[in-house]
């Protein structure tokens, strides 16, 4: 009989820190980032969205989300064997826990050197930030009751299955050979596409294109973006699930890509409009954080620099020219930054991946950038887009038909702070 997997205290310490860093990305990071970009009458409502989603998803993840995403189940969905975190305390004795095996009993079972409680919490913080990101697309116009119901449904129907497909040892998208180090498909493309569908289904904000919808307080937004940047080291370097060389490289590539993307957006905007804006450079930095996410543990610093520069310029184009060309009102550019940035990053991972970073005894060459890998990455992107778009559309229609999605015209004019909170 095999010995129980041992705990590595260094790995566990780093994952505890990473989990706290990723939670900081939503509260207060994203809350401040989004709140600074809406109008004064909607600041509290925007902060409330991030905070409430944190509370809602914590409970949803405990009850069913974690089990659907990470229990063994099938290649398409986990089962409910870990519902209510069943069995998570079975190995604790005198305060000590053991490591656990992800996908136990399957052909691709992965032995972890951290307690399952820590892994569950780390993944919970990802499940929290993803629906919170979507809120940027429909800011200033969704009913709070609709947000609460949609968040629960979307987390179970869209997020948990895609997380299982990509990150479970049994997942069918992982089985195609697609790689996603920290959530390019699972978090960013998923949130970005859902945001675009929300913006299209709900329609534009009242006065879009006529009234002044400029941000209330960009200082809040800069503080929020800065917290996102720092928290992202937990997001990306934490996805090594250990205190090791791959975590170190993921931290380095995250910093470099983010800086490059901030500069790329800034310069593109400077050339086009004649001045570099504060909103521009922070949006570019977030685009870099998004784009490096799937690639962080697969690319070297040179690849990160290229990826960041491309992401900054492409996301600037998406958040300005593409949005105006197609006429949708993605309030805070959830699709332009997260959707497009996630797609750029996922695809370029297939081009820029450096084999030794992901090499194992079972796969001595690792994931190497090639045309074949690019095609596999494109398949994973396409699968994510199709499932997310269809499921999100259906869920929005269900919520709209039952309790209604949007505040009234008068409520929107008065502002959601006074009306809802």
What are 158-193's pLDDT values in tens digits? 999 999 999 999 999 999 999 999 999 999 999 999
pLDDT at 37: 97
Which pTM value belongs to this model?
0.96
Q: Is the pLDDT of residue 72 over 70?
A: yes
Q: Dihedral of CA 23/26/31/37: which sign?
A: positive
CA dihedral 274, 277, 283, 289 (to 10 degrees): 90
Residue 3 has pLDDT above 90, yes or no: no
Nearest in space to 334 (alpha carbons), one of 161, 149, 233, 190:
190
Cβ contacts of 236 within 8 Å, gap of 6 or more? 181, 182, 250, 251, 253, 254, 292, 293, 296, 297
Question: Taking 60 as the threshold, does the pLDDT of residue 2 lie above it?
Answer: no
CA-based nearest residue to 247, from 380, 128, 114, 362: 114
Q: Are 125 and 66 contacting, i.e. CB atoms less than 8 angstroms apart? A: no
pLDDT tens digits, one per residue of 296-355: 999 999 999 999 999 999 999 999 999 999 999 999 999 999 999 999 999 999 999 999
Mean pLDDT of the chain: 96
Could you read off the pLDDT of 361-401 as tens digits, one per residue?
A: 889 999 999 999 999 999 999 999 999 999 999 999 999 99
**pLDDT in the model for residue 404:** 97
Angstrom distances, CA of residue 210 to CA of 40, 119, 137, 204, 214: 18, 48, 19, 12, 11
CA atoms within 13 A on the CB side of 175: 13
Contact (CB, 8 A) for 200 and 328: yes
Residue 288 has pLDDT above 70, yes or no: yes
Higher per-residue pLDDT: 98 or 318: 318
Indicate if the pLDDT at residue 123 is higher than 90: yes
Whether the predicted pLDDT of 221 surpasses 50: yes
* pLDDT of 1 strictly over 60: no
Angle at 280 between CA 277 and CA 282, to 5 degrees: 115
Give the closest residue to 66 by CA, choosing from 160, 188, 153: 160
Q: What is the largest CA-CA distance in the chain?
A: 71
Of 67-71, 87-91, 318-322, least confident by mean pLDDT is 87-91
Residue 142 forms beta bridges with which residues?
406
Cα 375-284-163 angle, rounded to 5 deg: 45
Compute how many other C-beta atoms are within 10 angstroms of the C-beta atom of residue 33.
Answer: 27
Predicted pLDDT of residue 107? 81
pLDDT (tens digit, 9 = 90+) per residue, 187-200? 999 999 999 999 99
Beta-bridged to residue 93, according to DSSP, are 96
Distance CA 68, CA 399 (A): 22
Q: Which residues, 6 or more positions from 102, have their beta carbon under 8 angstroms from its beta carbon? A: 70, 109, 110, 111, 112, 119, 168, 169
Q: Judge contact between 105 and 94, C-beta under 8 A.
A: no
- Which residues 6+ apart lie within 8 Å of 329 measured at CB? 199, 203, 204, 205, 208
Lowest-confidence segment of 19-23, 96-100, 155-159, 170-174 by average pLDDT: 96-100
- 256 contacts 304 by C-beta, under 8 angstroms: yes
Q: Where are the beta strands (DSSP E) in 78-131?
A: 101-102, 110-111
Alpha helices (H) along 36-77: 43-60, 66-70
Alpha-carbon span 341 to 346, nearest angstrom? 9
For each of the domains in the chain, give its residue range(s) and CATH number, in order of start. 9-233+242-420 (1.10.3430.10)
Q: What mean pLDDT comes out for the span 17-41?
A: 97
């Amino acid at each position: 009989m095999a010995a129980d997997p041992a705990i590595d205290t260094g790995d566990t310490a780093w994952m505890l820190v990473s989990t706290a860093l990723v939670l900081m990305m939503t509260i207060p990071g994203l809350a401040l980032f989004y709140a600074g970009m809406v109008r004064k009458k909607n600041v509290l409502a925007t902060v409330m969205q991030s905070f409430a989603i944190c509370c809602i998803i914590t409970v949803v993840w405990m009850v069913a989300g974690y089990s659907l995403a990470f229990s063994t189940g099938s290649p398409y969905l986990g089962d409910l064997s870990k519902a209510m975190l069943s069995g998570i305390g079975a190995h604790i004795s005198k305060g000590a826990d053991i490591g656990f095996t992800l996908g136990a009993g399957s052909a691709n079972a992965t032995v972890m050197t951290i307690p399952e409680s820590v892994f569950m919490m780390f993944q919970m913080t990802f499940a929290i930030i993803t629906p919170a990101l979507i809120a940027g697309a429909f800011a200033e116009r969704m009913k709070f009751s609709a947000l609460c119901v949609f968040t629960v449904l979307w987390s179970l129907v869209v997020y948990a299955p895609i997380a299982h497909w990509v990150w479970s040892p049994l997942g069918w998208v992982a089985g195609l050979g697609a790689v996603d180090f920290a959530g390019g498909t699972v978090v960013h493309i998923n949130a970005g596409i859902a945001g675009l569908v929300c913006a299209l289904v709900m329609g534009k904000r009242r006065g879009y294109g006529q009234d002044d919808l400029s941000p209330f307080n960009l200082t809040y937004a800069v503080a929020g973006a800065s917290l996102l940047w720092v928290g992202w080291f937990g997001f990306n370097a934490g996805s090594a699930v250990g205190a090791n060389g791959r975590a170190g490289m993921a931290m380095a590539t995250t910093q470099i890509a983010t800086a490059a993307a901030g500069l790329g957006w800034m310069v593109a905007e400077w050339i086009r409009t004649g001045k570099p804006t504060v909103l521009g450079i922070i949006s570019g930095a977030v685009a870099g954080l998004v784009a490096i996410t799937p690639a962080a543990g697969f690319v070297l610093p040179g690849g990160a620099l290229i990826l960041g520069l491309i992401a900054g310029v492409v996301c600037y184009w998406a958040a300005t020219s593409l949005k105006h060309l197609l006429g949708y009102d993605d309030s805070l550019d959830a699709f332009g930054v997260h959707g497009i940035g996630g797609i750029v990053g996922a695809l370029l991972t297939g081009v820029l991946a450096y084999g030794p970073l992901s090499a194992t005894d079972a796969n001595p060459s690792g994931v190497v950038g090639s045309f074949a890998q690019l095609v596999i990455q494109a398949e994973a992107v396409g699968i994510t887009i199709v499932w997310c778009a269809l499921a999100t559309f259906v869920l929005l229609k269900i919520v709209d038909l039952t309790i209604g999605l949007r505040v009234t015209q008068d409520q929107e004019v008065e502002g959601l702070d006074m009306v809802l909170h």
